[in-house]
């Protein structure tokens, strides 16, 4: 009979995996790492010699505990005759463990069809964690927004959620009923949603030189549509990983894609780019950065087969391109027009009272991407 230790001994985890667990004699020692326990595959803490009093909870092998162990590839470790469950070999560095996210992950994983192989679920853990974290952010952020839609406490009823496609991204088939504006309920409706998790979008801007940095790379969407120009001018952008904030993701992606550091992030209006079919939510920022003449070049992660080229463009030229219809990437278009309206106000907030002097920089050649 295993003894739950570390993250698995937390009340939120016990409630889902071992509700009948009973408290056992604490163990003396120290746990290292574990910030990604229950979130990523190898995120479980390791046990070391120490003087901390570590809670232990004794539990039978419940079906939920066995399924959870299979998905994470988690096995008991024996220590002085004790069968400890919830340990691994995580590195010391990492974020503070997030029990709410780990518990929500457990709920999501245990709700998946039991016939789905644990190995298939295991390889998708990073994307599942990012999606579950997105749902938690939605729950936290949307209540203060103005009320939109039918005025009723119970406005939508979800009858079932299936996942007919689950690879790196996934498709959810949601069967729901909606409380209509006339007071009636619709019959059951089937809606398919493309699930990719939240993303962060940042436009680097040098307010002293009054120039921005754009990137270009091949995009599969235009390729699938048959677009003869599948390379687009874009912002820096990327998925928000589980256990990181959208702001942290913006700074990480800027380094990965362009090599630049941003001194400050100015939030722009966040939004759903295509809410009729996609669950993606975009966090938009203007990133204050130093953009000298020689900073543009090639970037991207080789491990993700990214082939990214960066460009320096006067902000006024970006506005011209946006108004002329030369910008076809939606988030960049939004940020270009928003920055055109707000650049003077932002400069004052930054203590830059003198008007910006546009640098001569070379605008991108038309038709080059």
Active site residues: 304
Count of CA atoms in the C-beta half-sphere (13 A) of 327: 21
Taking the C-alpha atoms of residue 171 and residue 192, their distance in angstroms, rounded to an integer, is 7
253 labelled as ligand-binding?
A: yes
CB-based contact 236:337 (threshold 8 Å):
no
277 labelled as ligand-binding?
A: no
Is the C-alpha dihedral spanning 121, 127, 131, 134 positive or negative? Answer: positive
CB atoms within 10 A of CB 341: 9
Is the C-alpha dihedral spanning 46, 51, 54, 56 positive or negative? Answer: positive
115 labelled as ligand-binding?
A: no
CB atoms within 10 A of CB 334: 21
DSSP letter (8 states) at residue 70: H
| Beta strands 298-299 and 211-218, pairing class | unpaired
Is the C-alpha dihedral spanning 248, 245, 305, 237 positive or negative? Answer: negative
DSSP letter (8 states) at residue 185: B
Chain centre distance of CA 244: 7
Binding site listing for Mg(2+): 237, 253, 257, 306
């Amino acid at each position: 009979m295993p003894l739950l230790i570390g993250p698995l001994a937390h009340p939120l985890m016990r409630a889902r995996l071992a509700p009948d667990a009973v408290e056992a004699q604490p163990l003396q020692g120290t746990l290292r790492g574990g910030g990604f326990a229950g979130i990523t595959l190898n995120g479980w803490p390791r046990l070391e010699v120490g003087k901390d009093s570590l809670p232990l909870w004794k539990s039978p092998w419940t079906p939920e505990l066995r399924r959870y162990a299979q998905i994470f590839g988690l096995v008991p470790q024996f220590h002085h005759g004790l069968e400890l469950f919830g340990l691994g070999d995580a590195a010391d560095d990492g974020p503070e463990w997030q029990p709410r996210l780990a518990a929500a992950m457990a709920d999501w994983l245990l709700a998946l069809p039991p016939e789905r192989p644990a190995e298939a679920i295991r390889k998708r853990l990073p994307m599942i964690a990012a999606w579950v974290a997105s749902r938690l952010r939605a729950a936290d952020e949307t209540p203060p927004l103005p009320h939109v839609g039918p005025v009723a406490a119970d406005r939508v009823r979800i009858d079932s959620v299936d996942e007919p496609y689950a690879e790196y991204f996934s498709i959810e088939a949601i069967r729901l009923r909606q409380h209509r504006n006339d007071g009636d309920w619709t019959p059951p409706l089937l809606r398919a949603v493309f699930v990719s998790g939240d993303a962060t979008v940042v436009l680097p801007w040098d307010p002293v030189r009054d120039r921005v940095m754009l990137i270009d790379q091949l995009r599969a969407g235009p390729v699938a549509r048959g677009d003869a120009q599948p390379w687009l001018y874009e912002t820096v952008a990327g998925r928000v990983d589980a256990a990181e904030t959208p702001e942290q993701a913006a700074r990480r992606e800027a380094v990965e894609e362009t090599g630049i550091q941003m001194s400050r992030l100015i939030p722009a209006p966040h939004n759903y780019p295509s809410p009729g079919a996609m669950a993606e939510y975009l966090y938009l920022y203007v990133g204050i950065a130093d953009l000298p003449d020689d900073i543009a070049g090639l970037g991207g992660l080789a491990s993700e087969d990214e082939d990214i080229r960066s460009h320096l463009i006067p902000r006024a030229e970006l506005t011209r391109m946006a108004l002329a219809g030369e910008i076809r990437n939606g988030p960049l278009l939004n940020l270009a027009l928003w920055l055109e309206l707000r650049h003077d106000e932002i400069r004052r907030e930054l203590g830059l009272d003198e008007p910006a002097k546009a640098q001569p920089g070379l605008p991108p050649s038309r038709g080059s991407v």
